[in-house]
Amino acid sequence: DETLNGKVALVTGGSRGIGAATALRLAREGADVAVTYENGKEAAQDVVAAVEALGRRAVALRADSADPGEAAGAVDRTVRALGGLDVLVNNAGVGVLGPLEGLGLSDVDRVLAVNVRGVFLASQAAAGRMADGGRIITIGTCMTQRVPGPGGTLYAMSKSALVGLTKALARELGPRGITANLVHPGPIDTDMNPADGPYAAGQATMTALGRFGTAQEVAATVAHLAGAAYVTGAEFAVDGGHAA
């Protein structure tokens, strides 16, 4: 079904992993799609080609979410390239995990710049350019609900800011019919968190389903929210029961 026919979506960090799967899923449902990337130009171009093969328009934008001008500027570039913006998916994120004493100031600045400031600036820019009825969907983490072990101080702190942002955006933008929602993935098999990585078995065990999820399984919930008009300010775990 093509519920997003005629809509334009911007997926930050859409060259790989959850973002790439989301871009393809939104295109399958009818959207034209812009994806941002930092270094993965070829991967982003592959996503563009895959979207175009579905008969939709697509554009890959190099935009470092850690740079304030680039984080906000991706919105204007999307509008220029594709003629509007209806759905923003704040997906780009960095996972810097490790013992508290090993996290340096540059780690703190980088993680907050990408996971928090970049999301705020993109959302602010999108709100300024979206027509009524737009969607802002942000990718958090199951670690905002439950941190199952050491090493997550910086990452969990950064992603938890998105809970407040999402609720406040919902209140601010509700009068325009613009919704804001947050999706919390559990362990998802991507380059960031490979299902055959050193910490994978423990993560799978912590879910109720006993396995990693796929990027496509997260994308399905994002696509649902892109079409949902009466859901806002809400959080959705796609975590195999990690938080149960």
* Cα angle: 152, vertex 153, 157; to 5 degrees: 110
Q: Which is nearer to ligand NDP, 102 or 194 (CB)?
A: 194
Catalytic residue among 37, 155, 199, 230: 155
Least distance (Å) between residue 129 CB and ligand NDP:
19
Least distance (Å) between residue 242 CB and ligand NDP:
9
DSSP E strands, the chain: 8-11, 32-37, 58-62, 87-90, 135-139, 179-185, 235-238
Interface contacts to ligand NDP, rule CB under 6 A: 12-19, 36-40, 43, 64-66, 91-95, 114, 139, 141, 185, 187-188, 190-193
Q: What is the distance between the alpha carbons of residues 47 and 189, in angstroms, rounded to a whole number?
A: 18
**Is 155 noted as a catalytic residue in this protein?**
yes
Query: What would you report as the CA-atom Rg of the chain, rounded to the nearest whole angstrom?
Result: 17
Q: Which is nearer to ligand NDP, 35 or 130 (CB)?
A: 35
CA count, 13 A, side-chain hemisphere, 212: 18
Least distance (Å) between residue 37 CB and ligand NDP:
4
Q: Which is nearer to ligand NDP, 131 or 201 (CB)?
A: 201
Q: What is the distance between the alpha carbons of residues 75 and 70, in angstroms, rounded to a whole number?
A: 9
φ, ψ of residue 10 in degrees (nearest 5): -115, 125
Least distance (Å) between residue 55 CB and ligand NDP:
23
Q: If 0-12 CB within 10 Å is exposed, 13-18 middle and 19+ buried, where does residue 141 land?
A: buried
Least distance (Å) between residue 105 CB and ligand NDP:
18
C-alpha of 132 from chain center: 21
Q: Which is nearer to ligand NDP, 129 or 214 (CB)?
A: 214
Q: What is the distance between the alpha carbons of residues 119 and 115, in angstroms, rounded to a whole number?
A: 6
Q: Which is nearer to ligand NDP, 5 or 205 (CB)?
A: 205
Q: What is the distance between the alpha carbons of residues 154 and 132, in angstroms, rounded to a whole number?
A: 35
Q: Which residues are part of the catalytic machinery?
A: 155
